Amino acid sequence: MRGIDRATVERFGVPSTTLMENAGSAVARFVVSEYPRSERVGVVCGKGNNGGDGFVAARKLVEAGRSVRVLVLCDPTELTGDAAAMFKAMLPSLHTQNVSPVMVREAGGLDAADAAEIFSADLIVDAILGTGFRPPVSPLYAAAIAKMNAAAAPVVAVDIPSGAEGDAMRAAGAGGRSDRARADAVVTFTAPRPAHVFAELTGGPTVIAWIGSPVEGITSQLGLQLSTPSDFAALLAPRALEGNKGSYGNVLVIGGSLGKAGAAAMAGFAALRAGAGLSTIATPRSVLATVAAYHPEVMTEALAETKDGTISLGALGTKFDALIEGKTLAIGPGISRNSETAEFVRTVVKSRHKAMVIDADGLNAFEGATDTLNGAGRVAVITPHPGEMARLTGLSIAEVQANRLRVARDFAREHELIVVLKGHRTLIAAPDGTVWVNPTGNPGMATGGTGDILTGIVAGLLAQFPQRALEAAALAVYLHGLAGDLACEAVGENSLVATDLLRFLPAAFARARKQISESEVRIHA
């Protein structure tokens, strides 16, 4: 972020004071919008640029009609640069309310009546430390953080909760650190740091506000990309008037078995809901009628089966080769772990078909045989949950969960395919090491069938945008989670079922298109 800010100022000519003005203004806008009844606001400022953002927020909150008190954790002479300029600009606003900032230089000063008034406000703005912080926290700052943590008021953090480290890749352990501030919401700027996405800094929203850095100046040295609707604008653009069903791809779902017909049916219909022009489900002959009864829009194709009602090796041959020609394959939903069916899966995947998504028992077919799972020279996407990833890698589920980013990135590189590692903050890893992080979704989606629907959405978007496979996969995950969020709003976490995602996917498309033009992004806990 320091490099991005430097480039914004030096290459693009945006004054650093403009960035600070926009940052503090974004904080004030959030407070006014989200906390309309919090009339008395306390703003606690450190001596660095985070404090400078706080000074701007205080001024803007006064202009919005709030009663504002400011606590500054240093001597005024210690303020420098933009922070000093914004402190000076704030003073006339405070004087209109007949107050001055409270200056505290030692921890004991926080017990004085004027400082205590700030911690008893209706809302507290934490502008002590930003993402450039490295431990330890000074005694004065630690004492101020303790006061905020003990306060009854909600806390809105500027950039990051004070004392949190911006590079953190996982949540703090039980209890966390006593010198880290709590936060009910975070307003950060330009782009998130790893902690904003992975460290569970707040139980509320994290808002990413644009403050003036040009898009071309925003780069990640970590190879991480947070999925936002603006990243998918081209894929969400209106269709050409002359388009027809042949313009939007043809998906073939290969799956289903006795007792698991619904998995293939959901995947096939999800491909259509995602915009594919055509969708066919190839399934064992004995379950074809069940699959066909789900959705009249989906075509079906009967395949030879084993005595257990799963797809057999007898399904292979010239007829099958003609069936898969020109289609995007989705192989695995409901296909079973029958040994002959597993061999069928491995044979199809090794056929070097140009575009496919592999999921569920389609992935389990490669347990102990991952050397044959490779996407070189084609588009191959796998969508494992942590258990399936553990079977593919030989790791324990705990090891996968503890090292999700490394595991997904390494597997994508080694096997030259796109890995969608499902879970909280689903990761979409590319062979070149780039990883997209998905912010949508909720625990209500932890129910049978949601993965099958994701497989269908990925295949449907991949069929439409084969030249933009990574973006298509990332968009599929984003829309899948967003549909889950919309469904959760309607039915709650406990009652959410997989087919609710199909019902709310159209609304997810509409919401994503609307969000493209918005000036901020929100990540929810």
pLDDT at 423 over 90: yes
Residue tagged 């959901």 (tokens): 266
Q: Please tell me whether residues 350 and 287 are part of one structural domain.
A: yes
Identify which of 433, 436, 489 has the alpha carbon closest to the alpha carbon of residue 458: 436
Residue 78: domain span: 2-220
- pLDDT (mean) for 396-419: 97
Q: What is the pTM of this model?
A: 0.93
Question: Is 503 inside any structural domain?
Answer: no
Look at residue 176 in the predicted model and tell me its pLDDT.
Answer: 58
Q: What is the CATH number of the domain that holds 405?
A: 3.40.1190.20
8 A C-beta contact, residue 386 and residue 423:
yes
Residue 232 CB coordination number (10 Å): 23
Q: Please tell me whether residues 325 and 260 are part of one structural domain.
A: yes
Look at residue 392 in the predicted model and tell me its pLDDT.
Answer: 97
pLDDT at 175 over 60: no
Question: Is 256 inside any structural domain?
Answer: yes
Look at residue 217 in the predicted model and tell me its pLDDT.
Answer: 83
Look at residue 173 in the predicted model and tell me its pLDDT.
Answer: 59
Q: Please tell me whether residues 262 and 148 are part of one structural domain.
A: no
Look at residue 525 in the predicted model and tell me its pLDDT.
Answer: 78
pLDDT at 177 over 80: no
Q: Please tell me whether residues 188 and 262 are part of one structural domain.
A: no
Q: Which residues contact 495 (CB under 8 A, 6 or more apart)?
A: 444
Q: Please tell me whether residues 10 and 116 are part of one structural domain.
A: yes
Q: What is the CATH number of the domain that holds 50?
A: 3.40.50.10260
> 67-72 and 40-45: which strand pairing?
parallel
100-154 pLDDT, tens digit each:
999 999 999 999 999 999 999 999 999 999 988 888 999 999 999 999 999 999 9
pLDDT at 194 over 90: yes
Q: Please tell me whether residues 288 and 346 are part of one structural domain.
A: yes
Q: What is the CA radius of gyration of the chain?
A: 27
Q: How would residue 94 be classed by pLDDT, with cut points 50, 70 and 90?
A: very high
pLDDT at 290 over 80: yes
If 0-12 CB within 10 Å is exposed, 13-18 middle and 19+ buried, where does residue 367 land?
Answer: middle
Q: How many domains, the chain? A: 2
- pLDDT (mean) for 269-289: 98
Q: Which residues contact 205 (CB under 8 A, 6 or more apart)?
A: 185, 186, 522, 523, 524, 525
Q: Please tell me whether residues 190 and 337 are part of one structural domain.
A: no
- pLDDT (mean) for 471-477: 98
pLDDT at 273 over 70: yes
Look at residue 237 in the predicted model and tell me its pLDDT.
Answer: 96
